[in-house]
Amino acid sequence: MTSEITGTAPSRVTRGGAVPPASAESPARRRRRRPRIAPWLFMAPSAIILGVFVLFPIVRSLYYSFFDWTVGASTQPFVGFGNYIKLFHDSQFWNALRVTLEYTVVSVVLLLVLGFITALLLQGESLANRIVRSVFFFPTIVSLVTIGMVWKFLLDPSIGLVDGLAATLGLPSVAWLTSVHLALPTVIFVGVWKSTGFAMILFIAGLKGVPQERYEASNLDGAGRWQTIWSITLPSIRPTLLFTSLILTIQSFQVFDLVYVMTGGGPLYATDSLVNLLYRDGFVNFQTGYASAISWVLFAIIMIISLLQLRLFRYNDVD
C-alpha cells in the first residue's frame, strides 16, 4: 500500500520471508561496477613510451617550426610562418622536392609492375618457386645502409665489380654515382632491387585470397590469360594494390639512408631528397626550426598524395 502511494518499486521477498533492503546488489553486479584499473595498468608502459618518444617530439617539432630555432643560439625568436615562407623561396627545397617526386614516381611504378609480375610467376607452392621467392625477398631484410655500401663498392669505377666485368667485355668505365645524369637512376635501381621482394610477397598474399570460382567461371566463358588478369585478378586484389602503393609511396618519400650512403645528395644535389635536405639543415647546419618546417611540409605532401590514392582506388568500408 505504501509503495502504491509513494510510487516506488515494491521490495523483493526472499524464500525465507525476509525482505532485503532495496539498495542491496548481487556480488557479480558489484564486481562489474568496480572501476577496471588493470587494463589501464597494462597499457600504461606502452602509452608512456608512445607519449614520450612519439607524440611529444611531433608536437615539439610543430612548435619549433614557428621559431627561428638554431641550436646553441642565445635567443630563439618567434617568426610565425616565416620558416614556411622561406621554404617556398628556397631553390634547394624545390630541387629536393623534384628529386623526391622523381624517385617516388619511378620506383613505385616499377615496384608495382615488377612485384605483380613476379607474384604471378612465383605464386605456386613448388620447391623451385619457394627458393626463387626467398632469393627475391632476401634484400628486403637487409638494412638500406648495408645495401647502399655494398652497391657503392660494386659500382666504384676503380675497384668495383661492375666496371671490372665491363672492362673484361671491352666496355668503357661508367661513373654511375658521380654523373649528374646517372646518379639518380642508379639510386632508383638499387631501391627497386631491394624492395621488389617486399612488393612480391604482398601481391602473393592478395592473389591467394582470390576465389578460384572466379577463375573457373572465366575459363568457362573462354577468357584468355590477359583478359582474366585484367577482368578477374586486378579487380579482386584492389585492396592489396591500394595497400602496396600506399606503403611504397610513403617509403619512397622518406628515402634517406640509400641516398646518404651512396651519394650524400650529390653530385651537385642531383640526388638530394627532401629528408636528406631536412637532415642537412637540422643536424649539420643546426637550423632546427627550418628543418621542422620541412618535416611538416613533407608530412602534408604525403597526406595529400595518400588521400589521392584512396580516391583513385575508390576505397570504402566494403574493402
The answer to whether residues 298 and 67 touch, using CB atoms and an 8 Å cutoff, is no
The answer to whether residues 92 and 269 touch, using CB atoms and an 8 Å cutoff, is yes
Q: Give the pLDDT confidence score for residue 188 in this predicted structure.
A: 93
Residue whose C-alpha is closest to residue 187's, from 114, 273, 125: 273
The answer to whether residues 175 and 157 touch, using CB atoms and an 8 Å cutoff, is yes
Q: What is the pLDDT of residues 35-59, one digit of tens each?
A: 678 888 888 999 999 999 999 999 9
Q: Give the pLDDT confidence score for residue 7 in this predicted structure.
A: 45
In a domain, 106, yes or no: yes
pTM listed for this prediction? 0.80
Q: Give the pLDDT confidence score for residue 318 in this predicted structure.
A: 54
Q: Give the pLDDT confidence score for residue 115 in this predicted structure.
A: 92
In a domain, 75, yes or no: no
Total domain count for the chain? 1
The answer to whether residues 140 and 198 touch, using CB atoms and an 8 Å cutoff, is yes
Rounded Cα–Cα distance for residues 77 and 287 (Å): 13
The half-sphere exposure of 252 on its side-chain side, counting CA atoms within 13 A, is: 33
> Which residues, at least 6 apart from 12, have a Cβ–Cβ distance to it below 8 Å?
19, 20
In a domain, 59, yes or no: no
Provide the b/e sequence for 13-42 (b: ≥16 CB within 10 Å): eeeeeeeeeeeeeeeeeeeeeeeeeeeeee
Handedness of CA 127, 129, 130, 131 (dihedral sign): positive
Rounded Cα–Cα distance for residues 274 and 84 (Å): 14
In a domain, 147, yes or no: yes
Q: Give the pLDDT confidence score for residue 319 in this predicted structure.
A: 52
Residue whose C-alpha is closest to residue 252's, from 270, 275, 281, 269: 275
Rounded Cα–Cα distance for residues 96 and 256 (Å): 12
In a domain, 18, yes or no: no
In a domain, 2, yes or no: no
Q: What is the dihedral of CA 81, 82, 86, 88, to 10 degrees?
A: 20
Q: Give the pLDDT confidence score for residue 48 in this predicted structure.
A: 94
The answer to whether residues 83 and 290 touch, using CB atoms and an 8 Å cutoff, is yes
Residue whose C-alpha is closest to residue 146's, from 111, 93, 190: 190
Rounded Cα–Cα distance for residues 118 and 142 (Å): 20
Q: Give the pLDDT confidence score for residue 316 in this predicted structure.
A: 58
CATH number of the domain to which 242 belongs: 1.10.3720.10
Range of the domain at 119: 88-314
Q: What is the pLDDT of residues 144-197, one digit of tens each?
A: 888 888 888 888 887 888 888 888 888 887 888 888 888 999 999 999 999 999
Rounded Cα–Cα distance for residues 130 and 148 (Å): 27
Q: Give the pLDDT confidence score for residue 98 in this predicted structure.
A: 93
Rounded Cα–Cα distance for residues 113 and 290 (Å): 37
Handedness of CA 300, 304, 305, 309 (dihedral sign): positive
CA distances in angstroms from 26 to 29, 30, 33, listed in the order given: 5, 6, 11
Which amino acid does the sequence have at 209? G
Q: Give the pLDDT confidence score for residue 212 in this predicted structure.
A: 83
In a domain, 50, yes or no: no
> Which residues, given as ranges, of the chain have pLDDT below 70?
1-25, 28, 30-35, 314-319
Q: Count of residues for the chain?
A: 319
Q: Give the pLDDT confidence score for residue 2 in this predicted structure.
A: 43
In a domain, 185, yes or no: yes
Q: Which three cell numbers stand for residue 161?
A: 665489380
Q: Which three cell numbers stand for residue 19?
A: 525482505
Rounded Cα–Cα distance for residues 43 and 312 (Å): 37
